[in-house]
Structure 1
Amino acid sequence: MSPSSSPTPHTQASGSLLLLMAIACGLCAGCNYISQPLLHSIATGLHVSEAQAAFSVTVSQLAYAAGLLFLVPLGDLVDRRKLIVVLMGLAAAGLLLCAFTGEIGFFWLGSAVAGVFSVAAQVLVPLVTLMVLPQQAGRAVGILMTGLLIGIQSARSIAGVLSGTAGWQSVYILTAILMLLVAAALAKMLPTPAALPPVNMAQTGAHKASYSSTMRSLVDLFIRMPRLRSRTLMGAFSFGSLAVLFSTMALLLGKAPHGLSDLQIGLLSLVGVASALVAKPIGQWADQGDEPKTSLGASLLVIATWPPMWLAAQSTTMFGIGLLLLGVAIAGTHISNQSVIFKLTSQARSRANAIYMTGYFLGASAGSALGVLAWDAGGWSTVCWLGLALGLAALAANMYDRKLARAEESRQQAL
């Protein structure tokens, strides 16, 4: 196909469509966090222990990681519009199963279904880069990530408030209804495959357009793209640092001298929503060539946040400030990472994103588990040391990535 006949970016990537896609990202990401403030109510309603109810969180996280690895790569193989709609519909079905079941086993099953299919958000993000001009991709990704981050940061608080007024089942029912409505709107507004650049599987290590070859191409991409590896490490370590904080915040704030209730802790976590507001400008900076500075600044901010967090043991205000700064740093790292990854390959963006996001959430899972172990081993000070160590690891990955970028630039100049 000649350049003149190549498909151009979708011309209807309007502000309203980008907003709708951002809302979809927020719903998909947030549905994996709504159970966390409801565990006591769920346990009471299903007549099980809180530990059994809490197991649903682990089920959801593992299912989400599986969806990232096994479903997101399909975005390079099938009609993305249909894939997104089907995934969101199935995730809504899982949420409804959680709401209407009376058995913990079916609640776990519903959590798994909702978790594995809520990865629709990670199909939407690479899709939007194909809907706009290359110089606008960072801004578009920033808009979607604003919605995704708001969904993650606000899900706990909104779920807690809604559960207190209408019962915990209402949280799942409302989320499912909203997801179905947004999916229906996306079915009408998203571009058809004919309006998007085609995916050439042969150029990306998959010589036959099949699911098995697509999965094999993930290994090829990971081997061939050192910056995909370095950015995945950077994302895993940085998000792991934030997960350390999230996994221990209730343990810290629920005891003296803070003594906050579950609702108060949920409301305090809303300060993290403000960090989502940096996603759009960071995407714009990436479009303007300022991504290296943004990545470095974000990595340094992760490190700089943890020493003052020691004071959060006595100051709720200091905890809120630290949560805000760490949220900004993680948002900056994540947007910058995806900006780089989507530029590495135009033909395998869903697969590259699948690799990156799998590492990203594995880092979060490890950070959550290590955070609880650190708390048990030495309390808040040990938690802060762990968060700082992960921040330093993210900075090391950043330095390695900058070295790779300079080497790549030198090779291009030599040609």
Structure 2
Amino acid sequence: VRPEKIGEVVGFLMSGLLVGILLSTSLSGLLSQLVHWKLIYVVSAVLIFILAFKLKSELPYAMRIRMKYSDVFKSMAELLVSEKRLSIRAYAGAGAFASMSVIFSTIAVYLSSAPFHLQDMWIGLVSLVGVFGALSSQFVGKYADRGYGTLFTFLGCGFLILSWVIFYFSSAGLILYLIGFATTNLGLAFVHSCNQNIIFRIRPNAKSRLNAIYMTLYFGGAATGSAIGTYAWNHGGWIYTCMAGLALAIFATFFALLDYLLYRNKKPNVA
């Protein structure tokens, strides 16, 4: 990918990732309602095998740098230590994804209880409102290429914080929950697309390793957010859940602000 197109391409790929996450929720809810909740694991396994077969036949194999497998991990550890901006952006992404994961870990128990009492299928369909936010990744990527990455990162963090304010009042009506859910997905799409646009420019000859480090911390944040969301729900209900999600959104905002203060005068490496 040409350096000036990194943001646009990353945005396109992230749209696929985020839309896939949302559609999986809808599909699992539908299958749970019509057949059995365990069927989703069989469907997932089959789809993964099909995808693996397609990737094996479609993706080119190129070994540009000859490194031992153990050396790859050593170099990743060195990158994590030497490239401070990678760590900062990864923590911002981890906090943002953790904030949204609080929703995914509580959506079923919250919407199936009073005052909503929704069935599995309808709970799954709720996630469809987030698709429009996920599709914004490509739009964000284009503008990140034009130098608006920092602005869109802060907009994303702002959307995440706003979403939890909306969620807090969502017991008044399902429409508020839907608006909050859409806003959360929009915020995550903004932050994540801008993060990857920046980290891929840190060392153009180490994109895969940079991405591996970032995505490990990113999904580590998602797992942590799920655990925090479940704990908050079990110990304080929806109020504690909203407080946890808001705290994680603020955590992401802190690292976004730190990145801005340290690197606001640094031009991206597009060599």
> TM-score, length-normalised on structure 2?
0.91
Whether the 8 Å contact between 2:28 and 2:124 is mirrored in structure 1 is: no
Match of 2:120 among 258, 262, 275: 262
**Residue 116 (structure 1) aligns with:** none
Partner deviation per Cα, 1:73-97 (whole Å, 9 max, x = no partner): xxxxxxxxxxxxxxxxxxxxxxxxx
| Greater mean alpha carbon deviation, residues 374-383 or residues 331-340 | 374-383
Distance 2:264 2:72 in 1: 30
Distance 2:243 2:39 in 1: 39
Q: Secondary structure of 1:347's match?
A: helix
**Residue 253 (structure 1) aligns with:** 111
Cα drift, residue 406 of structure 1: 2.6
Which aligned pairs between 1:3-402 and structure 2 lie closer than 5 A? 132-165=1-34, 171-193=40-62, 198-199=64-65, 209-402=67-260
Distance 2:128 2:101 in 1: 16
Alpha carbons of structure 1 residues 366 and 189: separation in structure 2 relative to 1, 3 Å = closer
Whether the 8 Å contact between 2:33 and 2:121 is mirrored in structure 1 is: no
Cα drift, residue 364 of structure 1: 1.5
Q: Secondary structure of 1:344's match?
A: coil
Q: Secondary structure of 2:201's match?
A: helix
Distance 1:165 1:375 in 2: 28
Whether the 8 Å contact between 1:252 and 1:313 is mirrored in structure 2 is: no
Alpha carbons of structure 1 residues 376 and 161: separation in structure 2 relative to 1, 3 Å = closer
Whether the 8 Å contact between 2:32 and 2:120 is mirrored in structure 1 is: no
Distance 2:232 2:35 in 1: 36
Cα drift, residue 333 of structure 1: 0.6
Gaps of 5+ in 1: 1-131, 202-208
Q: Percent identity?
A: 37
Distance 2:47 2:74 in 1: 35
Distance 1:282 1:386 in 2: 27
Gaps of 5+ in 2: none
Between structure 1 and structure 2, the one with the greater Rg is: 1
Partner deviation per Cα, 1:230-275 (whole Å, 9 max, x = no partner): 1011011111111112111222111111111111111112212222
Cα drift, residue 184 of structure 1: 3.6
The aligned length equals 268
Cα drift, residue 407 of structure 1: 5.3
Cα drift, residue 174 of structure 1: 4.3
Distance 1:166 1:313 in 2: 30
Higher relative contact order (CA 8 A, sep 6+): 2
Partner amino acid, structure 2, of 1:335: S
Q: Secondary structure of 2:204's match?
A: coil
Whether the 8 Å contact between 2:133 and 2:186 is mirrored in structure 1 is: yes
Cα drift, residue 164 of structure 1: 4.7
Whether the 8 Å contact between 1:268 and 1:320 is mirrored in structure 2 is: yes
Which aligned pairs between 1:404-415 and structure 2 lie closer than 5 A? 404-406=262-264, 408-409=266-267
The CA RMSD measured in Å over matched residues stands at 2.1
Whether the 8 Å contact between 1:296 and 1:395 is mirrored in structure 2 is: yes
Cα drift, residue 355 of structure 1: 1.3
Q: Secondary structure of 1:288's match?
A: helix
Distance 2:146 2:265 in 1: 21
Task: Write out the 4+ residue segments of structure 1 that deviate beyond 2 Å after TM superposition.
Answer: 159-192, 406-409
> TM-score, length-normalised on structure 1?
0.60
Partner deviation per Cα, 1:117-158 (whole Å, 9 max, x = no partner): xxxxxxxxxxxxxxx211112111111111111111111211
